[in-house]
Structure 1
Amino acid sequence: MAKKSDRTGEQLPVHKVIMVGSGGVGKSALTLQFMYEEFVEDYEPTKADSYRKKVSLNGRECQIDILDTAGQEDYVVVRDNYFRSGEGFLCVFSLVDRETFAAASDFRDQILRVKVDDHIPIILVGNKLDLAEESREVTEEEVAAMAAQWGVPYVETSAKTKVNVDKVYYDLLSKVAERKTLPAEAPSSGGDGDTKCSCVLL
């Protein structure tokens, strides 16, 4: 697994985000746009890549650790290990590819099976908004209904034009950081205090 890391601020809290979704939906494009403010049209990773960046969240510095999965992991155990390490997930599909929208439910099921936690922070992301005006295959109403069923936020993005790219990462970071404060304040909340306590990094 490639490691592309910003070495500054090693003692800062680290929040671990996992990118999931079918191949070709733009997970890598979103990640590279957020990390380096550049758009890569044809990026086809053959394995997962990990990135780390220092950011300011609600006025406090921290680090985001992003694992960009390849979309079709060869081994279930490898995929499960990736998911197990995550503290928050961006579940990405393409607005111009209905099959990737259908596959998003499978990715969520895999996450919940590994995490055993119905309240793990997840944001449903419809990417390629820049192509949606002419080639959209998934309506906003359909996605809103799925997001409501999951009980998660839904955001439409464009890695190419950077629409809502920073938003989805910072929104997820806020949810992850907020969740890490829950064990001390409400250890019995949701009945999964053990899994949440293991996520606290100081």
Structure 2
Amino acid sequence: MATSHLTIDAEFQTVKLAVLGAPGVGKTSIIRQFVCSQYSDEYLSTDKKQVFCPSVIINEHLYELKIIDCPYIPYFPVNSLYEWTDFRGYGLRNATAYLLVYDITSEDSFQYIKNLRDQILESRDMHDVPIFVVGNKHDQSEERGMPRREVINLVKKQWKCGYIECSAKFNWHIILLFKELMKTLDYIDYGHKPTAVRVQNALRRNRCLIL
């Protein structure tokens, strides 16, 4: 990771990011594009939890991400007992942030994350725990289910959540997604907004690791 032109904090913050969504929406593809710049058209269901651990820099602060690629869960664990009894939900209740991913061509996948968000809010303290809604498969936008304006109105205005559309297949808005998430977390941690020019310069040096 190139850091020669940046003044980086010696200490790092750990961010536990849970990526949730219905089967086939592209959770793993989004993560792999961000971490490894890799994509495969072959669909393999996520049967067990995987954790990816990239380090990123935002606003000259170093973060260690623990990105949890979670298998499909029928419900968010309502308490610690449910978290322990179903391995798929273990560790989700203390995540630092959540990415709720849906397929923009599938209204059912949006309904799933809508229900999941409601369960998360009912199940844990969400103070300073951001939720970002991610509409994947923008490359198939001509087959869109719910109108984009309707989704944005619900997510941004009513839920007060971040919203970004992306295409894991074409690596479109993947970096932007994680940059916006990390800007939000950095603001929570340090109480100031990142400098845009500094962030852009960092992105040029290493698009995957320096945000």
* Alignment partner, residue 148 of structure 2: 140
* Identity among equivalent pairs (%): 25
- In structure 2, list runs of 5 or more residues that go unmatched: 1-10, 192-211
CA 1:168–1:36: 2 relative to 1, 3 Å:
same
* Alignment partner, residue 17 of structure 1: 17
Select between 77-86 and 49-58 the one with higher mean Cα deviation: 77-86
**CA offset at residue 17 of structure 1?**
0.8
Paired residue total: 172
CA 1:118–1:61: 2 relative to 1, 3 Å:
closer
**CA offset at residue 138 of structure 1?**
1.9
Match of 1:175 among 184, 190, 206: 184
Give the partner amino acid of 2:175. D
Q: Secondary structure at the match of 2:39?
A: coil
**CA offset at residue 73 of structure 1?**
5.7
CA 1:73–1:67: 2 relative to 1, 3 Å:
farther
Q: Is the aligned partner of 1:120 residue 2:122?
A: no
Tell me if structure 1 keeps the 8 A contact 2:12–2:61. no
**CA offset at residue 119 of structure 1?**
5.0
- CA–CA separation in structure 1 for the residues paired with 2:74 and 2:146: 25
- CA–CA separation in structure 2 for the residues paired with 1:32 and 1:61: 21
CA RMSD after TM alignment: 2.2
**Given the two structures, how large is their TM-score scaled by the length of structure 1?**
0.77
Q: Secondary structure at the match of 2:52?
A: strand
Spell out, residue by residue over 1:145-172, the C-alpha distance to the aligned partner (whole angstroms, 9 max, x if none).
Answer: 2112101121101000111111111211
CA 1:178–1:80: 2 relative to 1, 3 Å:
farther
- CA–CA separation in structure 2 for the residues paired with 1:105 and 1:123: 12
- In structure 1, list runs of 5 or more residues that go unmatched: 1-10, 183-202
Give the partner amino acid of 2:26. G
